Structure 1
Amino acid sequence: MTSTGQQRKVTRTGISSVHRTVDGSVLTAPARLCFIVEERYENDVMPGAVVDVLRSWGHEVDVLRPHGTVADLWDLLFTDSTRYDAFVLKTVSDGPGQTLLDAAAAAGLTTVNDSRAIRLARDKAVAAVRARAAGIPFPKTWFASRTALLDQIPADAYPLVVKPNNGSSLKDVHRVDSPEELARLDVDDSTRMLAQPYLPNPGYDLKVYNTGDEVFATVKRSPLHPGAAVVEEQIPVPPELGELALAVGRAFGLDIYGIDVVETPDGYVVLDVNDFPSFGRVPRAAEQLARTVLRVTRRSALAATTAPAVTIDPTSAPAAMEATA
């Protein structure tokens, strides 16, 4: 991905989705946007294709690379006129980009997704509890501050799936069938880990994406079944699966996201929630995501213009301080 307006050709094919989630036009005046993109995603299709589309529509888009730039927060966030209408994040779960996005939110600026929603989704232990509290089907979850503590999980809970609490891209996800197998697992003991019961499944996962316009579903080979004969493709979205995806978005406050789902004998179960995933095999993904970014930006701008003004009595704070002295 480049920081210029050079266009990137992206080819996508597949079946159109069945769920429309939002209506309304996008911004008509040019928006000023800042994409925070870490090195890992610099040459990926996403979010570069979204940047290209927005620029082709006449919007101003800068790309901030936290791995190679010292960010002047005062210049970035506190200027006489607002420098950017919104900030968009595409980084790894524990990367420095999250700090920059949180700083933008702390300054009262628009972020896509909402920075608090991203925090909820990226800490997998917190995400599990949030999903459970919202009534979303999610596996029972154990959290361990270091790998060695997982041996305290009862033997009758096996087989287990263990993975890092801040993992991404399905890396370091393991099935262990016994405490003895867990003891042989080669994982850094300083890693914060999650463990969940292994759920019987067809041997593949469903990746469900919400672009903000539509919900899509694709079949993806499971990291727990690497040898399974799986055709990775887009599939129609059953109504129950589409409603589950929308329920996750409402529970977390996300506009752009994906979920990993497994189909069990008891129905669909959500395994993971991802803000701004790859949207692989989703047709017209870049255009749909660009529309959502503009829609969220417009929504926030309208909310700011209609919010009641807050006035502070300059004498109240000293009085309160005197009262507590």
Structure 2
Amino acid sequence: MMVRSAHLRRHFGPHARRDSMKRWIVPTALPAALLLALLVDRGQAQEQEERFVEIDTLNVRDTLYHLGEGGANGLALIDEINGGVILVGTKLPGWGQPVIDAVYQVTDLPVTTIINTHSDRDHTGANSEFPDVTEIIAHENTAANMARMDLFAGSAAGLPNTTFTDHFGLLEDLDRIELYYFGPAHSDGDIVVVFPQKRTAYLGELFPDKAAPVIDTANGGSGIAFPETLAKVVEAIDGVDRVITAHAPIPTTYAGRGRRDRGERRAWTGWLTWDDLREYADFNRDFLTAVRASHEAGRSVDEAAANLDLPERYADYGMEQARANVEAIYAELEGR
């Protein structure tokens, strides 16, 4: 069920009533300063804009939720035992309050913990906007990358205060969370977030969608290492049935249902699966192989991008990043 009515727009907020529904869209007015900046940038004469966080339950116990909009997919786990909510990703700057409002529709507990899977602004931008947060967890490389960002300049607010190298675990039993690092890919700090008892994993920009990924070379990303890192993920982790990516719509959202209606390849449930991740690892391997072949043949970046020889099974993949990735791989191959 989706809620998006004028009445609920007036009354959603810190004292809004929670109803026994499974899906909400929660609006929050933009702060005046941020709104003004957006209006100037867009050249529009709007006086107000609302932001909506779409929240969907991911398991029958109603403890794990998907948070849509705000630049990237996020997750929220309700930790009743310790009295807090754990977020995976915080979205773009200015999206903290919409997330808080959305979470309030399913629990009175505050957001106390943030997991950052990497340093991109659409996953870390609202880190400092959750007043009850006491712990922000990330890979040590991601913490270093975030410390260099203008977003966090001059303040430790929103920066990770718990870091790890290879593995980190939180909670126990049904709500157990496992964090894994397998090597550079999109950046040098991408992690996999696994909910073993829920048979669910969040891949972030390691698996953004069925499309050529963004390679963030400024933060240690590697087109050469990307397929190897994904292969390690596929080999090391088992027991996962459902994969949440950084940007692919989930099947319960409008965008996700649209994809399913267009007949794009999905399991009957519409969810991306571990087999989809395995295919994505193969895609990145085959992409690298094709680029290496073009490089060895002396083709230019433009020629290589225009003549990628990839298997037919990737015909539906988005290729907007293809040329940029060819260029990044060429630079690595040439030691630049």
More contact order relative to length (CA 8 Å, sep ≥ 6):
1
TM-score, length of structure 1 as denominator length: 0.29
